[in-house]
Amino acid sequence: MQAALCDLGLIEYQVAYNLQTRLVEQRRHLGPGNDTFLVVEHPSVYTLGRRGGREFLMVSETFLAEKNIAVVPIERGGVITYHGPGQLVIYPIIHLKQAGLSVADYVSTLEELMIALAADVGVVAARDERNHGVWVGNNKLGSIGIAIRHGVSFHGLALNVNLSLEPFGWINPCGLTGVRMTSLTAETGADVSMSQITAGLQSHLEKLFPFSFHKIAPDQLDPTDEVRN
């Protein structure tokens, strides 16, 4: 089966969310060969999952406004997390049943993808059976939060590449007490670039998912000014 791979670069969270919901609605009416993987970075934003998480904010709304960090409630699983520049975010818009994936298999595959990307720069990451995502020792490197509508997945994974970890210190990330976040840059002691990580992305995707990927430009995906701008 074919799937599209589209790198949107740095894009506002709400714009990416609106695009995801449009693609989910399109995908539910189409057959195999119409799945899409969005690759993005976001300006600084906290998102709250279905279980909430505002209580895990450790700073005031005034402080966040001064830092220009929005707080956005969404319908993915989990509680609060942070997105910012230097974090690789991937949103697969796929019909799980048509791809032959159970929800558990899908989550496991997203974890395997992050483990493989980390290994490309010599970082050994692993699962924690108690908590989804990937870890380096006791430090969390990547997070997963998904939603499924009409059998189609959206939201996805976030892998910390070279972002500032300071904003994670202003929340209780993922609602887990005492969790420290890490990044590929922190683990290697070198400035790992986003291009280093995305260079092997398509190859890893094709090994892990039942798709043959073709890259498309943003205007091929959604020819609206909202995405192009």
Residue 61 has pLDDT above 60, yes or no: yes
pLDDT of residue 50: 65
Residue 79 has pLDDT above 90, yes or no: no
- The structural domain count of the chain equals 1
Q: How confident is the model at residue 31 (pLDDT cuts 50, 70, 90)?
A: confident
* 31 marked as part of a ligand binding site: no
- Domain residue limits at 27: 2-228
Residue 150 belongs to domain with CATH number? 3.30.930.10
Residue 102 has pLDDT above 50, yes or no: yes
* 77 marked as part of a ligand binding site: yes
Identify the residue with better confidence: 90 or 73: 90
pLDDT of residue 131: 82
% of the chain surpassing 90 pLDDT: 70
* 214 marked as part of a ligand binding site: no
> Once rounded to an integer, what is the mean pLDDT over residues 49-64?
75
pLDDT in tens, 156-209: 999 999 999 999 988 875 555 667 899 999 999 999 999 999 999 999 999 999
* 78 marked as part of a ligand binding site: yes
Q: How confident is the model at residue 225 (pLDDT cuts 50, 70, 90)?
A: very low
Active site residues: 174
* 81 marked as part of a ligand binding site: yes
**Mean pLDDT estimate for the chain:** 90
CA 218 centroid distance within chain: 18
Q: What are phi and psi of 9, to 5 degrees?
A: 70, -150
Q: What are phi and psi of 49, to 5 degrees?
A: -80, -170
CB 90 within 8 A of CB 161: no
Cα(9)–Cα(33) distance, rounded to whole angstroms? 24
% of the chain surpassing 70 pLDDT: 90
| CB neighbour class for 94 (10 Å; exposed up to 12, middle 13-18, buried from 19) | buried
* 158 marked as part of a ligand binding site: yes
